C-alpha cells in the first residue's frame, strides 16, 4: 500500500495528464456523435419541407374524354398537358376508333385547359366540330367540344334512335330506304314529316 502511495506521488503529473487526455478524447467523441445526430435531423426536416412545397405547387386540371377510348370518363392531368396525354390517360384509342378521321382532325399536341371535353369518334360516324386555335395561354381551351352528326346512309338503328323524334320503327324505315342522295330524301320518300325533319336536319348527313 505504501509503495502504491509513493508511486502515485512520484508520477502524479504523468497520471494526471493521462486522465485529462482520456477525458478530452471522450468529450470529443460525444460531441461528434451529437453533431452528427443534429445534422441528420436537419436533413430530414429539409426533405419534409421540400415535399410540402411540391404538394403546394403541383396543379392539376380535369378533362372529360369520351367516345372510342378504352376508359371513357373524367381524367386528371398536370397543367399544360396535351390532348395526346389526356387520351393516353383514358387508355388510348380502341379498335373501333376512326383512325383516319383522328389523323386528320385531332391535334394530339394541342394544349388543353381545365374543364375541356375531347370526343373520339367511332368508325362510321361523321363528326361536326369547331376548330379552336392552339392555346396561347389566354384562350379558354385548346381542345374542341365535338358533337355527333349521324350519317343516315350508314348509321345503326341505335344511332338513328338518338335523334329527336326518331324511334325504333322510324329508324328501321330510314335503314330500309337507303341509299340517300340528300337529306331531303327523307321528306321525298315520306319517311319523316316536315316538323321532325326540321328538328334534326342540322344533325344528319349523307356521308
Question: How much is the pTM?
Answer: 0.39
Other C-beta atoms lying within 10 Å of the C-beta of residue 196: 17
pLDDT in tens, 5-62: 565 556 556 666 566 556 556 555 555 555 555 444 444 454 554 555 444 446 899 9
What is residue 59's DSSP assignment? -
Burial per residue of 51-70, b for 16 or more beta-carbon CB atoms within 10 angstroms, e otherwise: eeeeeeeeeebebbbebbbe
* CATH 1.10.150.320 domain position(s) in the chain: 152-207
CA 158 to each of CA 150, 154, 169, 180: distance values in angstroms, whole numbers, following the listed order? 11, 12, 11, 19
Closest CA to 205 of 151, 128, 127, 129: 151
Other C-beta atoms lying within 10 Å of the C-beta of residue 40: 10
CA 83/CA 173 separation, integer angstroms:
39
Residues contacting residue 117 through CB under 8 Å, at least 6 positions apart: 63, 64, 65, 66, 143, 145, 146
CATH class for the region spanning 152-207: mainly alpha
pLDDT in tens, 66-105: 889 999 999 999 998 999 999 999 999 999 888 888 887 8
Residue with cell 321525298: 188
Amino acid at each position: 500500500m505504501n509503495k502504491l502511495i509513493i508511486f502515485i506521488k512520484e508520477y502524479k503529473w504523468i497520471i494526471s495528464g493521462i486522465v485529462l487526455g482520456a477525458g478530452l478524447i471522450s468529450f470529443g467523441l460525444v460531441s461528434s456523435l451529437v453533431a452528427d445526430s443534429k445534422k441528420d435531423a436537419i436533413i430530414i426536416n429539409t426533405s419534409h419541407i421540400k415535399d410540402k412545397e411540391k404538394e403546394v405547387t403541383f396543379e392539376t386540371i380535369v378533362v372529360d374524354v369520351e367516345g372510342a377510348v378504352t376508359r371513357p370518363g373524367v381524367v386528371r392531368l398536370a397543367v399544360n398537358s396535351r390532348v395526346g396525354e389526356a387520351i393516353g390517360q383514358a387508355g388510348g384509342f380502341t379498335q373501333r376508333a376512326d383512325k383516319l378521321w383522328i389523323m386528320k382532325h385531332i391535334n394530339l399536341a394541342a394544349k388543353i385547359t381545365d374543364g375541356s371535353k375531347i370526343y373520339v369518334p367511332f368508325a362510321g360516324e361523321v363528326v361536326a366540330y369547331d376548330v379552336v386555335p392552339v392555346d396561347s395561354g389566354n384562350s379558354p381551351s385548346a381542345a374542341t367540344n365535338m358533337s355527333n352528326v349521324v350519317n343516315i346512309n350508314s348509321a345503326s338503328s341505335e344511332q338513328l334512335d338518338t335523334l329527336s323524334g326518331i324511334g325504333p320503327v322510324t329508324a328501321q324505315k330510314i335503314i330500309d330506304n337507303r341509299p340517300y342522295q340528300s337529306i331531303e330524301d327523307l321528306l321525298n320518300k315520306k319517311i319523316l314529316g316536315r316538323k321532325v325533319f326540321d328538328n334534326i336536319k342540322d344533325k344528319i348527313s349523307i356521308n
